[in-house]
């Protein structure tokens, strides 16, 4: 019988193209990936890989297997969800990925609520950016992604996944409290900025927004950590665009104001379609919605 986990590795090879990239995504060594694929080939009884230079490519038989793997995994997800729903208690382990500001704000409240409501449910949390988070969700490394979508950025949720919106989170211009204000963007052309890296959606959006205002930002600190950005503003070293989710303790001794047009990012959760009815997913989403109502400035 074909091993489902090895089918997943073959599917990742079809997506990634190289054994090294599969190993990176799945947190394996390349030799371990090769070993698992060799065992799958033995189970299948037909060649699945062909050498090409220093790499490999999938055979026609392998591509047939990959075409069916998503169907198999969705059915297994649904079967797992149905079995879990037959129990009167919500239990097991739920693997959740989240980004910085969610980790620092709504997630702790959600974890407290889950512990009180469902003491037999264990939640494991992984800090991942949006690309690796969805890679891991597709590869069954994680069960739920807490994500954010910035203005004018493409929807990162992939086919075969289900998205549930949490709330919109206004984006604020934050300056040190002893600076004169409010500050129109035009006066900040020479200011030092703390900004997300350009390869992240937030970093791309802030640079576009400033560019539309005729500003090429002088970047003091290129960091994906909004708490570090907030600290640099608080200590008088930089200005930044920071989500309102962090207003409060993290932005004391700063001045926050709305940006032109009142832009906002959208927070959501995403799971594989076969897991939408899983009791653990539903319980965690309910706790997260309760936490959002407490923490969100929009709710």
30 and 177 both lie in a single domain: no
Residue pair 182/257 in contact (Cβ under 8 Å)? The answer is: yes
Q: For residue 109, what is the domain's CATH number? A: 3.40.190.10
In the chain, the N- to C-terminal Cα span, in Å, equals 51
47 and 174 both lie in a single domain: no
Q: Which of 55, 83, 111 is the last residue of a domain?
A: 83
97 and 60 both lie in a single domain: no
| Alpha-carbon distance values, 43 to 38, 135, 140, 216 (Å) | 9, 26, 22, 57
15 and 51 both lie in a single domain: yes
Return the exposure string of 157-188: e unless at least 16 CB atoms fall within 10 Å of the residue's CB, then b: beeebebeebbbbbbbbbbbeebeeebebeeb
* Rounded-to-integer distance, Cα 246 and Cα 252, Å: 10
Q: Which of 31, 59, 83 is the last residue of a domain?
A: 83
193 and 149 both lie in a single domain: no
Residues 6+ apart with CB under 8 A from 267: 102, 146, 147, 148, 165, 166, 167, 168, 169, 245, 292
Cβ neighbours of 99 (radius 10 Å): 22
* Rounded-to-integer distance, Cα 199 and Cα 259, Å: 22
158 and 175 both lie in a single domain: no
Residue 71 lies in domain: 4-83
150 and 282 both lie in a single domain: yes
Q: What's the whole-model pTM score? A: 0.83
Residue pair 219/269 in contact (Cβ under 8 Å)? The answer is: no
Residues 6+ apart with CB under 8 A from 150: 201, 202, 204, 205, 265
* Rounded-to-integer distance, Cα 267 and Cα 132, Å: 17
What count of residues does the chain have? 299
Total domains in the fold of the chain: 3
- What pLDDT score was predicted for residue 54? 82
128 and 244 both lie in a single domain: no
Q: In this structure, what token pair is assigned to residue 64?
A: 């047939």
26 and 49 both lie in a single domain: yes
Q: Which of 83, 101, 134 is the last residue of a domain?
A: 83
71 and 180 both lie in a single domain: no
Q: In this structure, what token pair is assigned to residue 219?
A: 């970047």
- What pLDDT score was predicted for residue 192? 95
Residue pair 181/257 in contact (Cβ under 8 Å)? The answer is: yes
pLDDT per residue, tens digit, the chain (299 aa), is 788 889 889 988 988 888 888 888 888 888 898 999 999 989 989 989 988 888 888 999 999 999 888 888 889 899 999 999 999 999 999 999 998 888 888 999 999 999 999 999 999 999 988 888 998 898 888 999 999 999 988 888 888 899 999 999 999 999 998 887 666 788 888 999 999 999 999 999 999 999 999 999 999 999 999 889 999 999 999 999 999 888 776 777 888 888 999 999 999 999 999 999 999 999 999 999 999 887 544 43
Q: Which residues pair with 206 in a beta bridge?
A: none
108 and 185 both lie in a single domain: no
- What pLDDT score was predicted for residue 182? 64
159 and 100 both lie in a single domain: yes
Q: For residue 20, what is the domain's CATH number? A: 1.10.10.10
């Amino acid at each position: 019988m074909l091993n489902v986990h090895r089918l997943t590795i073959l599917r990742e090879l079809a997506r990634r193209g190289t054994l090294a990239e599969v190993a990176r995504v799945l947190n394996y060594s390349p030799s371990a990936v090769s070993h698992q694929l060799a065992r799958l080939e033995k189970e299948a009884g037909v060649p699945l890989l062909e050498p090409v230079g220093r790499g490999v490519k999938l055979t026609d038989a392998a591509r047939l297997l990959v075409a069916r793997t998503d169907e198999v995994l969705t059915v297994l997800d649904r079967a797992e969800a149905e079995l879990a729903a037959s129990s009167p208690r919500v239990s097991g382990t739920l693997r959740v990925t989240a980004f910085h500001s969610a980790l620092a704000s709504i997630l702790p409240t959600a974890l407290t609520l889950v512990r009180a409501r469902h003491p037999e449910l264990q939640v494991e949390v992984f800090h991942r950016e949006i690309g690796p988070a969805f890679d891991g969700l597709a590869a069954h490394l994680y069960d739920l992604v807490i994500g954010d979508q910035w203005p004018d950025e493409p929807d990162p949720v992939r086919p075969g996944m289900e998205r549930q919106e949490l709330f919109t989170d206004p984006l604020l211009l934050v300056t040190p409290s002893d600076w004169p204000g409010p500050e129109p963007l035009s006066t900040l052309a020479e200011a030092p900025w703390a900004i997300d890296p350009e390869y992240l959606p937030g970093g791309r959006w802030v640079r576009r927004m400033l560019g539309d205002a005729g500003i090429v930002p002088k970047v003091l600190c290129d960091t994906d950590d909004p708490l570090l950005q907030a600290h640099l503003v608080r200590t008088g070293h930089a200005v930044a665009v920071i989500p309102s989710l962090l207003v409060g303790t993290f932005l004391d001794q700063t001045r926050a104001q709305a940006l032109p047009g009142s832009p906002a990012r959208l927070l959501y959760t995403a799971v594989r379609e076969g897991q939408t009815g899983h009791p653990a997913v539903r319980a965690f989403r309910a706790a997260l919605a309760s936490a959002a109502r407490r923490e969100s400035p929009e709710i």
